């Protein structure tokens, strides 16, 4: 049977050794190189939120209390120490210019579980150690709402609630048990760009 027409370019590329063009991903103005960010393509946008299709990504995460600034600081130090330890063990520099930092909030059988996660640079292999776990966020569509200002426990909760209310009003299906608060700036920055991510069901 002859190959179908859509398969011909791939077949010719394999036979002739011709490289096909790489997948083009969208880039955020506040996440340009040398910053390393998760790859995504924008699906749709409106005045309230947008939908993005994120590629699979790997994160180093540790549990923490998002309501307590000291607990957040301790969680941050655990991730930094873990990354530095892994860099020393593997004798390779693990790029620390990865964004965003994520606060994952999940409502489960044990109540509300909160964790702080930092992106693992592509090509780096890590394993869970101590209080830091390595987690894969599979390829998924996310509804995204931006918000400005210093990210606090209250501002994350309020913006997550507003996004979910808008999604309900628009008849969208989404995971009500979890959301991610993404921060693209250090605590000492004068400007902050933040986002709420809610997984599409």
Q: How far apart (Å, rounded) are the C-alpha atoms in residues 188 and 76?
A: 14
> 145-187: per-residue pLDDT in tens?
999 998 999 999 999 999 999 999 999 999 999 999 999 998 7
Q: How far apart (Å, rounded) are the C-alpha atoms in residues 82 and 130?
A: 9
Give domain status of residue 191, yes or no: yes
Find all residues with CB under 8 Å of 87, minimum gap 6, and list them: 93, 94
Element (H or E) spanning 131, and its range? none
Give domain status of residue 70, yes or no: yes
**Residue pLDDT tens, the chain, 201 long:** 444 444 544 444 444 454 445 577 998 998 999 999 999 999 999 999 999 999 999 999 999 887 788 888 999 999 999 999 999 999 999 999 999 999 999 988 888 899 999 999 999 999 999 999 999 999 999 999 999 998 999 999 999 999 999 999 999 999 999 999 999 998 788 889 999 999 999
Q: What is the pLDDT of residue 22?
A: 56
What is the domain extent for residue 164? Answer: 52-199
Give domain status of residue 34, yes or no: no
pTM, rounded to two decimals: 0.86
Give domain status of residue 143, yes or no: yes
* Rama region for 111: left / alpha / beta (φ>0; ψ in -120 to 50; rest): left
Q: What is the pLDDT of residue 187?
A: 76
Strand order in the sheet with 178-183: 40-45, 50-54, 140-148, 193-199, 178-183, 101-108, 111-119, 57-63, 133-137
Q: How far apart (Å, rounded) are the C-alpha atoms in residues 54 and 3?
A: 31
Burial class (CB in 10 A: 0-12, 13-18, 19+), 103: buried
Question: Within its chain, how far is the Cα of 143 from the centroid?
Answer: 12
Is-contact 162 145, C-beta < 8 A?
yes
Is-contact 27 121, C-beta < 8 A?
no
Give domain status of residue 7, yes or no: no
Tokens found for residue 77: 């130090």
Please spell the DSSP secondary structure of 166-191, one letter per residue.
HHHHTT--B-TTEEEEEE-S-TT-SS
Give domain status of residue 174, yes or no: yes
Q: What is the pLDDT of residue 7?
A: 52
Give domain status of residue 38, yes or no: no
| CATH number of the domain within which 83 lies | 3.20.80.10
Q: What is the pLDDT of residue 72?
A: 87
């Amino acid at each position: 049977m002859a190959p179908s027409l859509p398969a011909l370019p791939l077949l010719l590329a394999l036979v002739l050794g011709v490289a096909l063009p790489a997948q083009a991903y969208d880039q955020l103005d506040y996440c340009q190189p040398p910053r390393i960010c998760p790859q995504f393509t924008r699906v749709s946008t409106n005045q309230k939120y947008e939908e993005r299709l994120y590629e699979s990504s790997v994160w180093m995460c540790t549990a923490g209390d998002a309501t307590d600034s000291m607990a957040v600081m301790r969680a941050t130090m655990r991730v930094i120490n873990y990354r530095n330890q892994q860099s020393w063990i593997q004798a390779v520099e693990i790029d620390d210019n990865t964004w965003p930092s994520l606060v994952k909030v999940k409502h489960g059988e044990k109540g509300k579980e909160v964790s702080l996660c930092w992106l693992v640079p592509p090509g780096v292999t890590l394993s869970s150690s101590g209080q830091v776990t390595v987690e894969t966020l599979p390829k998924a569509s996310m509804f995204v709402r931006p918000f400005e200002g210093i990210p606090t426990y209250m501002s994350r909760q309020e913006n997550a609630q507003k996004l979910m209310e808008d999604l309900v009003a628009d008849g969208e299906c989404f995971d009500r048990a979890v959301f991610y608060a993404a921060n693209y700036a250090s605590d000492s920055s004068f400007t902050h760009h933040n986002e709420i991510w809610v997984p599409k069901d």
